[in-house]
Each structure stands twice: as C-alpha cells, then as structure tokens.
Amino acid sequence: MISDGILIAALVYVIACLGLVLYQQKQTSKLRVKVAALTLLIKESDRQRETVKRELQELRSGTIGVGRRMLELEKRTAKQDARLDEVNQQDPQARLYSRAMKMVDLGASIDELIQECELPKAEAELIIRLHGKG
C-alpha cells in the first residue's frame, strides 16, 4: 500500500509539474506577444521621433533664413528712412507737407492746416482726405 500511495503521490506530483510547466509556457507565450507589440511600438515611436527631429531641423533652418531676411529688410528700411529724412530736411515744401500730415494724424482740421502750414484750402482738404482717419 505504501508503494501505491507513493505511486499516486508521484503521479499527482508529475501531473502538477506538467500543469505548472504548461501554465508557465502559456504565460511566456503571452509575454512574448506583449514584448513583440512593445517592440513594434518602440520602433514606430523612434520613426516618429526621427520625423519630428527632421521637421524641427527644417523649421530651425527656415527660421534662421527668415531672421536673416528680416535683418536685411530692417537695414534697407532704416536706410530708406534716413534718405527720406534727408530729402524732407532739404526740401522745405516736403517738410511742410510732412508737418501737415502729422497734424492730420493728431486730428487737425482744415482751418488749422491752412493757418499753421499756410496751405491753400484745396491742398489742406486733399491732405485730410488722403491721410485723415476714417
């Protein structure tokens, strides 16, 4: 009987071990599937990161180019402003019109332009129409 009990116990032990091995294989298989899925996600993430990195580099390059063009335009504008100032200072008539336009920007009336800038009424009206607000 003792040998039958040992035989049954050994059989139960072997069955339990087989069950445990099968359970571990199933869990290992599930883990492999998860690892494969995570590997694909990581690869896709790496591809997306590289794409974003490339696009960011392109944006940086474009921004640098735009910045250079802006500096160039600012220099040109400064030169043109200086030339305009020179011309306005050399031509008293241009200074008069420049003053009249500034007065219009400040809300001066036709009569104020005529009086302060000594402009004919038609010219004062024209300046207000061209440069007036509204």
Give tens-digit pLDDT for 38-87: 999 999 999 999 999 999 999 998 899 888 999 999 999 999 988 877 77
For residue 16, the model assigns a pLDDT of 92
Give the chain as a 3 state SS string.
CHHHHHHHHHHHHHHHHHHHHHHHHHHHHHHHHHHHHHHHHHHHHHHHHHHHHHHHHHHHHHHHHHHHHHHHHHHHHHHHHHHHHHHHHHCHHHHHHHHHHHHHHCCCCHHHHHHHHCCCHHHHHHHHHHHCCC
Question: Sorting pLDDT into bands at 50, 70 and 90, what band is 18?
Answer: very high
Query: What average pLDDT does this structure show over 90-100?
Result: 73
What does the pLDDT read at residue 2? 67
64, 7: one domain:
yes
Please indicate, yes or no, whether residues 67 and 122 belong to a single structural domain of this protein: no
pTM for the whole thing?
0.43
The answer to whether residues 21 and 63 belong to one domain is: yes
Domain that holds residue 109: 90-133
**pLDDT tens digits, residue range 108-129?**
888 988 888 888 888 888 888 8
83 and 126, same domain (yes or no): no
Looking at the 3D structure of the chain, how many domains does it have? 2
Domain identity same for 66 and 96: no
